[in-house]
Structure formats: structure tokens, C-alpha cells
Amino acid sequence: MAVKIKMTGRAGTGKGTCRKLRARGVAPAVFYGPEFRESVVGAVDLKEISRVANAPNRETNMIDLELPDGRVEMVLLREVQRHALTQNILHVDFYQLMKDRKVKVAVPVRLLNKDTSHGVKMGGILEQPLRDIEMMVLPREIPSEIVIDAAKMQLGDEKFVRELQMPESAELVTPEDSVVVMIARPRSVSEAAEPTDESPAEVEVVGKGKRKEEASEE
């Protein structure tokens, strides 16, 4: 179910105008898309947009955006500009979705049972090289997230992008041979104890030889 957000009109686009908007609890916003030659500038309530912008799946969360003229468009939150220190929202961009046109999205990956998988219980280290998977997909098939259950993963197991279930219309942007999650084997005691070129054992042998030579000279 899409989130509903209302975009109100605003006059001016300068920094002073934007600061005044944020002081009133609204964030400057821009809407654009394939059917609009010119972008529409406006503002949205900070509390409403924060619920979407701070969600893990913000890039795939579809929004019913009411424009200043009353027209409602299905959109995605394309960009969120934040203050470098406070992380407060400074500006947001909305992108128009068209039902018959694919859109590029980064779908977040969520792992289940990552701390209780078989491999982790055996001492393995769970690693997740990919936090999201990029694809081109029709709006009606945009997944909010991709879920992977790590419960049965064993030591050394890997899950690749090609093994995951994707929407029918999806065209992968992320290479299909990319590893999404793996359980790495821990270094064995023997590996950790292997002597290097300058191991303590060799130093000790050299030291003993030196002491014998010194003793004979005495």
C-alpha cells in the first residue's frame, strides 16, 4: 500500500526561502518525470516525509504524491539531501512512475536468522558484501525488499544474486555472479601459528648459535 503525501506550492527557490520553509516544519521538494517537461517545485511536511526517508526501503517505497494542482502521481523518493552534522532533511526529490516503463531501483537485502545459522554456530563469520541489489523493473513489481534466510547456511556457503527470486520483469544491474551473503571459515589454529620468514623460532636458533661461539672464544 502506497504512502500518501501532499506537496504544497512554494514561491522562490533560494537558500533564504528554503531556510524559512524548514523553520516552519516543511522541507523543500521537487517533482519530475517522463511526462513533465519542467519540474514542479513545492514543499512537504517534514514529519510525513521523514517516515519514508528514514525507512530501510525508502528507495522502493511507492508514494501517492498529491501535487499542488491536486493531481496525484505515483512516485519514488529519488534523493534526500541532509545536513552533514545533524542529518536533518534539507531537500527531497520525487520521481514519477509510469506503469509501462521500467525504473531503476536499489532493493535492500534483509537477512533472517543471521546469528543462529548453522555455520555461525560452528564458529563461522557471516559476511554480507551486498546490502542492496540494483535492477530495472516495472513499478507494479518493485519489491520492497529481498529476504534471505541464513538459518541453514553452513561453513563456506555462499549465496549469489543469481540464486535469488526476482520479479518477472526485473533486469539485473548488479552482476548476477555477485556474492550477497557468505559464511566464512575462521582461521585455524595451525594457520595462525605458521612461522613467518622472521619467526621467533628462527631468531632463537640464531641466538643460541651466537652464544655457543661466544662461549668457545672465552
So what's the pLDDT on residue 216? 46
Q: What is the pTM of this model?
A: 0.74
pLDDT for residue 187: 76
Query: Which residue range forms the structural domain that includes residue 156?
Result: 104-192
Question: Could you tell me which residues come within 8 angstroms of residue 201 by beta carbon, excluding any fewer than 6 positions away?
Answer: 195
pLDDT given at position 43: 92
The CATH number given to whatever domain includes residue 137 is: 2.170.120.20
Q: Where are the beta strands (DSSP E) in 138-195?
A: 146-149, 158-160, 171-172, 179-184
Let me know whether 67 and 121 are in one domain.
no
Note whether residue 40 is domain-resident.
yes
Distances (CA, A) of 212 to 175, 185, 202, 204: 63, 45, 16, 13
Low-confidence ranges of the chain (pLDDT < 70): 1, 11-17, 188-218
pLDDT at 10: 77
93 and 114 both lie in a single domain: no
Q: How far apart are CA 102 and CA 212, in angstroms?
A: 80
Domain boundary among 98, 116, 146: 98
Instruction: Look at the chain and report how many structural domains it folds into.
Output: 2
pLDDT given for residue 37 in this prediction: 85
Q: Tell me phi and psi for residue 128, to 5 degrees.
A: -125, 90
Tell me, yes or no, whether 151 lies in a domain: yes
For residue 213, the one-letter residue type is E
Domain match, 10 and 88 both: yes
Beta strand 103-112 pairing with 89-96: unpaired
Confidence at residue 40, expressed as pLDDT on a 0 to 100 scale: 93
